[in-house]
Each structure stands twice: as structure tokens, then as C-alpha cells.
Amino acid sequence: MIAKDLGFEELYGLGDIDALLEKAQEKCELKLRGKKFAGMEKEDVVQEVLIKVHKSLSKYDSSKAKMSTYIEHVIENMVKDCYKKCGTEKNLILVNALELEDSYEWDDEAFQGYGAHVGSVDAGYMAVDMSIDVSITFSAREKEIFELRTQGYEFVDIADKLGVTKARISQIWKGIKAKYDQF
């Protein structure tokens, strides 16, 4: 009988950990179909899940659950953990950061060194700071809120600073996002 035709229980009973991990990988890839993780490739998520499955095999107790249920539970929990990791403020700051270095690799040697780095100083070039004007028809109040928000202030802090409610700041912020999305 081919290892792919066997279930998790049989593979675990035979001690074929490689085949068990392959089967877990297939199950994980099916679960991840259509899902996106900020700052992580699906292959990275699958790799983390497989590491967790491998580590947790020693903790398996056949009297508590079937192996297929246990592996399903481990996969679900690890996918949730990856979503939590992707949603952390530290990760989102990195994911949403502006890329200042051109990641394109030139095949032709004649083009190497031309415009490969934004903001770097090469011989014969001067350093230039780049900024983007975000005045997209914002009112003075919207500009002020936008600047405070981009400086890291929370809605509550902005509301206290401007003497309005947090709900009003949230409402104005929705308008700012709508204008920005149209841009």
C-alpha cells in the first residue's frame, strides 16, 4: 500500500514521520488556499506549521484523540498563531514601510549601477530627500489629524488635543481614508 493512501493513524503507527509530514503539508496547503498573510509567504507559514507538527508529535496521546484530529488541531492553532504574528504592530510597520531600495536585478551588465538605489550617494551624485505631498484636497482639520495620526498618536490622544470626541476623530479619519483611496 502506498503511504499517501494511509491515514495519519497508520502512518504514525508505522513510524513513517516523513510521509506523515507530507500528508500534513498537503492538509495545511488546502487550509491556506485563498488566505493571505501580511509579510509572510504561504511557504513560510507551511514551514512553521510543519515544524510545530513535528515538535508536537511527541506530545500525542492516543487515548485523548485520533491522530488526524490532533494534527488538524495543531495545524489550526499554528495558522491562527501566524495570523496573530502578522497582525502585530511591529510586523505591520515593517510590511507597510516604503521600500527605498530598488530590488530589481539587472541582467545586462551595462545597466548595473544606474538607479539601483534610491537615496544612496555615489560618486558624481548628490543625496536627495524625497517626500510626498498628501494634501489630496484635505481640509485644514483633516491635514492636522492626518499628521498627528502618522506621528503615532491614537484617536483618543488626537481627540484630547483637538478638544473633540474620539468618535468624531474616527468619523473624520474614515473620510480621510475614503479620499486617500480615491487618490
For residues 57 and 124, membership in a common domain is answered with no
User: What per-residue confidence (pLDDT) applies to 130?
Assistant: 45
What letter represents residue 55's amino acid?
A: K
Q: Does residue 13 sit in the same domain as residue 73?
A: yes
Residue 95 pLDDT: 62
Return averaged pLDDT per consecutive 10 residues of the chain, 183 residues in all. Answer: 73 85 90 81 90 91 88 91 79 59 48 41 49 61 86 88 91 85 66
In a domain, 137, yes or no: yes
pLDDT at 171: 92
State the pLDDT at residue 140. Answer: 84
Looking at the structure, tell me whether residues 8 and 86 fall in a common domain. Answer: yes
pLDDT for res 163: 92
In this structure, is residue 110 part of a structural domain? no
Residue type at 135?
S
Q: How many domains does the chain have?
A: 2
Burial grade of 97 (CB within 10 A; 0-12, 13-18, 19 or more):
exposed
Q: DSSP letters of 97-124?
A: SPP-B--PPPSSGGGTTSS-BSS---TT
- Residue 107: inside a domain, yes or no? no
160: β partners: none
- The pLDDT, as a whole number, for residue 119 is 42
d(CA 150, CA 143): 10
Task: Report CA-CA distances (Å) from 111 to 63, 105, 116.
Answer: 65, 10, 9
CATH of the domain at 131: 1.10.10
Same domain, yes or no: 87 and 158 = no
**Cβ-based neighbours of 14, under 8 Å, separated by 6 or more:** 6
Which of 91, 107, 130 is a domain's end point? Answer: 91
Query: Up-side HSE of residue 91: CA atoms within 13 Å toward CB?
Result: 11
Cα of 99 vs its chain's centroid, Å? 15
Residue 97 located in a structural domain: no
Q: 123 with 174, same domain?
A: yes
From 91, 109, 127, give the residue that closes a domain: 91
Instruction: Please report the sign of the dihedral spanned by the C-alpha atoms of residue 60, residue 64, residue 66, residue 69.
Output: negative
Q: Does residue 58 share a domain with residue 22?
A: yes
Which structural domain, as residue segments, surrounds residue 36?
3-91
